[in-house]
Structure 1
């Protein structure tokens, strides 16, 4: 299996190399190695393989030399019309693909999309794609949207098990617990806001695992116990509903500035009731996953929101605010020490 996979990976790399030369012209071995994420030696071997296969790639020596294709050479790729190619280019700008370990495959696919366009449309599609930005890394307040970081080796094993229909062993660290080995039957992969999840069953019971909490993974040869077909959107919706309505959830009555309403709703699991308050604020009955989630969400809104109930949440937020106020009361001890040190240095200098 590994040998077959390695051959497929090399074939994909050879196609990407040809497409890079077609679209960018002459490139050095170093530039190709950087684009393909391999060594320069591997690039040289790939170029030799392409030449042996009849692809007209040649080397130009000298300071500005590199590798290039004979003019007019074209790969045999299925053509796309302008809108189809644009849709794929926009989809390729989304950041969810690296979460499930397909970042390099996406880059290769985008090269093929651009190359499949007629010459007259290629530049226009690229120009139009530059005018659209989907899922940037930060929002308007410069808050960085952090994606899950999952080791490539882990996500590759998970993805292979999902696609092959094999059982999977994962070394998984649940929240506030040490990692444990578990054997599961994988169903599918879901990416939500740059967070990757594995939907699976374990001993017949539904389980949802966050990819970033997997320390290690191993595809097994034993077939997974799962249905031949799956409606992954429906399964995800069902599990999301159970998550929102089960467990030790916390109901909170909140007053919030209308300008921060969407931010509050975006962090809550559900909104059970909403009405206008007498002073123009909104009064919402919302639920959170647990007490820690509720406290975190209200703390983000600072003075633009007030938890009315439960009382323990009001007390917790008050105590946290009091601790912060105490910390910043008066001058900083560090500043005092710096000032004293500066005074001491000046005094010493005047005595000399």
Structure 2
């Protein structure tokens, strides 16, 4: 265990440069005293690691020193091969590079680890898109990824859901995210971080203008905050309904997760006929109509009146199509 930690400490200093004892402690999940002892052990073994004192100090390796030791375990090799996702990489224009990197990795690894990596690829496959949805065309994704990598500003013509439908924006692209088979761009526009659907980009021009990437920007954290804000903000209304116990169970499978969770949390006790009251969050009256229709005659809308009227009209139209 300690040998593995010493290798990890050495590789951290090699890849990240100068690091404080506190940073190393957090990265390796050990105490600062353990870091002190490990650094002494590396120095005693001949590794040229030295410390600089002061507010900007820390541990670092002598300039130019690199170890050929990777310390890669069988599990780490398996995880690395599993992380190679050929579909999304190809969409980003990196498919051939990923294949070349995998070949080099196989050649560099001991035969046993290379074989375990191959077995992972034969046994596990990631298919990112959701069921019953065609992949979205994203002809500008590769160029956009290049702009993200080079910190170059872009000009996009973008189609949105509200008027005016088409807008032109100059953006500082900070990252791209693949969510349920759909690509999204996270970009800075006018000092605000916003999210754009890559498939809705109609035209893209990469500009000869560079931008300074915010030092404290974290793409994963930013996306998580955006996703949580979107889920909270998208449901701006509520529908008061009564539904059967079977419908409440079915809601888990036919409603979006936020809707089904809220419906189950708000559900009351069923009456003698098996109907129970609950509240379902909806984006709009039209959205509630579409979603609640999935439960058929197992749900009755009580409010708002506009939504109940829509169901009344649907019931009449269905009765006309299917007369007794």
TM-score exceeds 0.5: yes
The equivalent residue for 2:123 is: 131
The equivalent residue for 1:119 is: 111
- 2: CA distance, partners of 1:222 / 1:309: 53
Could you list the runs of 4 or more consecutive aligned residues of structure 1 that deviate by over 6 angstroms after TM superposition? none
- 1: CA distance, partners of 2:207 / 2:169: 12
Secondary structure of residue in 2 paired with 1:229: coil
Distance 1:198 1:136, change over 3 A: closer
The equivalent residue for 2:249 is: 259
Matched, 1:316 2:310: yes
- 2: CA distance, partners of 1:192 / 1:116: 33
- 2: CA distance, partners of 1:285 / 1:101: 46
- 2: CA distance, partners of 1:313 / 1:147: 33
Which deviations, in whole Å up to 9, do the C-alpha atoms of 1:291-342 show, x marking residues without a partner? 3433332233434544443232233244345435544669xxxxxxxxxxxx
- 1: CA distance, partners of 2:214 / 2:148: 12
Distance 1:133 1:244, change over 3 A: same
The equivalent residue for 1:25 is: none
Matched, 1:237 2:243: no
1:249 and 1:287 in contact (8 A); partners too: yes
User: Where does structure 2 lack aligned partners over 5 or more consecutive residues?
Assistant: 1-67
Question: What's the C-alpha RMSD, in Å, of the aligned pairs?
Answer: 3.7
**Of 196, 200, 203, the match for 2:190:** 203
Which deviations, in whole Å up to 9, do the C-alpha atoms of 1:65-114 show, x marking residues without a partner? xxxxxxxxxxx9x8954322321333335855556554554444444444
- Range that drifts further, 182-191 or 79-88: 79-88
The equivalent residue for 1:67 is: none
Which deviations, in whole Å up to 9, do the C-alpha atoms of 1:236-274 show, x marking residues without a partner? 233334334447722223436243232325263972842
The equivalent residue for 1:174 is: 160
User: Where does structure 1 lack aligned partners over 5 or more consecutive residues?
Assistant: 1-75, 331-352
2:185 and 2:197 in contact (8 A); partners too: yes
Secondary structure of residue in 1 paired with 2:279: strand
Matched, 1:83 2:75: yes
- 2: CA distance, partners of 1:105 / 1:239: 31
Distance 1:163 1:136, change over 3 A: closer
1:209 CA drift (Å):
0.7
Which deviations, in whole Å up to 9, do the C-alpha atoms of 1:171-220 show, x marking residues without a partner? 10001553322112222222211111112232223321111101121121
Distance 1:165 1:315, change over 3 A: same
1:58-77 equivalent positions in 2, closer than 5 A: none
Q: TM-score, structure 2 length as denominator? A: 0.62
**Of 274, 280, 293, the match for 1:299:** 293
- 1: CA distance, partners of 2:277 / 2:106: 51
Distance 1:202 1:297, change over 3 A: same
Q: TM-score, structure 1 length as denominator? A: 0.57
